[in-house]
Amino acid sequence: MTQIQIKKKPLLTRPEQFQGVPTFIAEILARRGVQSEQELELKLKNLLAPNLKGIDVAVELIDQAIDQQKQIVIIGDYDADGATSTALMILVLKEMGARVEYLVPDRFKYGYGLTPAIADLAKQTYQPDLLITVDNGISSHAGVETAHALGMQVIITDHHLTTKSTPAAEAVVNPNQLGCDFPSKALAGVGVAFYVLAKLASYRSQQAKSTCKVTQYLDLVALGTYADVATLDYNNRILIDTGLKRIQQYQCRAGILALLDIAKRDAATLRAQDLGFVIAPRINAAGRMESMRIGIECLLAPDLETAYPIAQQLNQLNIERRQVETEMKQQAMSALQHIHLETEQLPAALVMFDQQWHQGVIGIVAGRLKEQFHRPSLVFAPDEDGIHIKGSARSIEGIHIRDMIEQVAEQYPHLVSHFGGHAAAAGLTLKKEHFDTFKSVFIEAIAQMDEDLFQPILWTDGELVATDLNLNTLDWIDQLGPWGQKFPLPQFEGRFQIIDYRWLKDQHLKLKLASGNHSIDAIAFNAIDRFEFNPMLAYVDLVYTLERNVFNGNTSLQLQIAHLTQ
């Protein structure tokens, strides 16, 4: 394994501009590029105005469809962003009096987005007048053509990247489409849906047609945005923080409360990270293992009584998902050991396929491999047709995975059937017979990248002095959240004296440490596989985050260890 470099994040703005906060907090903010104190005020009034290209036409069309009682069908997507976007559209449009249904493509049967087959299915099932896509559609040229041929209008709401012209839909709303000047390109699919619905609500309210407070559904926007690992720019942080506060006050969907209860988490103390690690995997499990309808129905449930059995089903699917994922990762690791032994060094990218693998979890496995080996990772599973394979890609900082796939697709048009995605994650389909060729071409393309990109770097906020190792520091950090993608939770580095240690369940390492005159507890999860620890040495160098440890009613500070060396 490559040695991890530990570096202190550079200052991007001036710490002196943040008054009334401890110096280390001012530096944390400056390292994340916070421009002014106003950016710490996460109020809805500071949200960007809804000036997205195409939004006015979309609002007008939906408004007419509601008034004329036309049949609307939402075409969703099978991840948490797609599920929250679909639920949001259904709830708000129904509240406005619309006739609205939804369809989510089965990932195993239809693949992603508004395909011609999905347009057909929508027509047969619901006879819609208007299709609205959420979290998909920006590449659905053929699907839009089919919908038009079948007499349906189409509005696309999406956030995925595109370098091509948009499909010929009646309206396209996507901050990343060519010619859209909306300042934040980081909106998730649910964020785009929220903007469309908020503008529609305001328009219908002005016309005295209906009143609907779209902000009451910000719990869904927060969940979908965080789950999709969207960059936490100022706008997204406002959306997430406001939605998170609704959950903490129990003013959220019954399905979210049911999932939290099953996960034994208290909504009142929920943090933004828990949206990504507690709720989202359970919603995602529906789309990965069975049908995302289960996840959407959980979010649509009107009360706890309805939501609870669905939430239990999601929890069970998540347990199954974990088992499948663990097996696949073990198989991938043994295949990698084989590669590793043969070449004595890792290839520039990890590209793997197995006939037995499950389409639903290839993205997670790709993510785990990327984390462990610091290489762009593509994991493929067979498609139902027996001819194609579907791949999920996850990338490291500095390598734009969607663009790399596009580069291969343009140079060798026969190799890649479909692809789409973002800088950090993408999906693609190819014929099984082309896998070996694609693999060598793709690895070769990645190998041309700057070598420094393959050197894993752990960025920290520097050292905390011993007197700042207290709960007050953690209170400051909590106040300044939500933390997440491109606005990372503060992590610090430091050298500590080892007072005592013990192993929990033979894999987690619990340490008692000294810093100055203070003693402090620390924990390293799964340390047995990750770090080499020698109890005979007096000191340990750590990279860590701060957390609360509540035990027997007492709350104390604990370090959660991200990296350990001696």
- For 403, other C-beta atoms within 10 Å of its C-beta total 15
pLDDT beyond 80 at 72: yes
Of 268, 297, 318, the residue that ends a domain is 318
Residue 343 confidence (pLDDT) above 60: no
**Structure confidence at residue 14 (pLDDT):** 96
Residue 529 in this model has a pLDDT that exceeds 90 = no
What 33-41 contacts at long range (C-beta under 8 Å, 24+ apart), as own/partner pairs, is 39/234, 40/480
> Minimal CA–CA distance to 157: which of 199, 203, 190, 202?
190
Q: In angstroms, rounded to a whole number, what is the distance separating the alpha carbons of residues 17 and 5?
A: 30
Do both 249 and 131 map to the same domain?
A: yes
Residue 523 has pLDDT above 60, yes or no: yes
Let me know whether 364 and 498 are in one domain: no
CA distances from 151 to 41, 92, 212, 296 (A): 47, 25, 30, 27
Which domain, by its residues, includes 74?
Answer: 48-318
pLDDT higher than 70, residue 151 = yes
Residue 95 domain flag = yes
Q: 280-289 vs 254-262: helix axis angle to the nearest 10?
A: 100
Question: Which residue is it, tokens 């663990």?
Answer: 326
User: 302: how many CB neighbours lie within 10 A of its CB?
Assistant: 11
- Give pLDDT, residue 49: 97
Least confident window among 257-261, 358-362, 496-500: 358-362
Min mean pLDDT across 102-111, 201-210, 305-314, 356-365 is at 102-111
Average pLDDT across the chain, whole number = 94
pLDDT at 342: 61
Opening angle at CA 565, ends 455 and 526, nearest 5: 90
Closest CA to 270 of 481, 23, 464: 481
Give the CATH number of the domain where residue 519 resides. Answer: 2.40.50.460
Does 381 share its domain with 424?
Answer: yes
pLDDT digit string (tens) for 127-142? 999 999 999 999 999 9
CA atoms within 13 A on the CB side of 267: 21
> Reduced to 3 states, what is the DSSP secondary structure of residue 348?
coil
Whether residue 530 is found in the same domain as residue 414:
no
State the total domains in the chain.
3
Whether residue 293 has pLDDT greater than 50: yes
405: CATH:
3.10.310.30
The predicted-structure confidence for 401-450, as pLDDT tens digits, reads as follows: 999 999 999 999 999 988 888 888 899 999 999 999 999 999 999 999 99
- Is-contact 463 493, C-beta < 8 A? yes
Q: H or E segment at 549?
A: strand 539-551
- Three-state SS at 231: coil
pLDDT at 408: 95
For residue 248, pLDDT over 60 is answered with yes
Q: Over range 543-562, report the average pLDDT.
A: 94
Give the per-residue pLDDT at 332: 86
Helix (H, G, I), strand (E, B) or coil at 182: coil
Task: Give the whole-number percent of the chain exceeding pLDDT 70.
Answer: 99
**pLDDT given for residue 1 in this prediction:** 46
397 and 251 co-located in one domain: no
Could you give the percent of the chain with pLDDT greater than 90? 84
Residue 65 sits in the same domain as residue 213: yes
For residue 70, the Cα-to-chain-centroid distance in whole angstroms is 34
pLDDT of residue 336: 78
Q: Average pLDDT in the 490-513 region?
A: 96
User: Is the pLDDT score of 12 beyond 60?
Assistant: yes
261, containing H or E segment: helix 254-262
Give the ranges where 78-133 is alpha helix by DSSP (H). 80-95, 116-126
Q: 427 with 290, same domain?
A: no
Q: How confident is the model at residue 296 (pLDDT cuts 50, 70, 90)?
A: very high
pTM of structure: 0.92
437 with 470, same domain: the answer is no
In the sheet that holds 388-394, the strands lie side by side as: 350-353, 377-382, 388-394, 425-431, 418-421
Asked, for residue 223, whether it belongs to a domain, the answer is: yes
- Peptide bond before 482: cis, by omega within 30 degrees of 0? yes
On whether both 141 and 221 belong to a single domain, the answer is yes
In a domain, 210, yes or no: yes
pLDDT over threshold 60, residue 2: no
**68 and 87 together in one domain:** yes
What CATH number did the domain enclosing 310 receive?
3.90.1640.30
- What pLDDT, in 10s, does the model give residues 19-64? 989 999 999 999 999 999 999 999 999 999 999 999 999 999 999 9
CB 428 within 8 A of CB 139: no
* 282 and 150 in a common domain: yes
Residue 30 lies in a domain: no
Q: Is residue 517 part of a domain?
A: yes
Q: Is residue 465 part of a domain?
A: yes
H runs (alpha helix) in 399-532: 401-411, 435-447, 471-479, 527-530
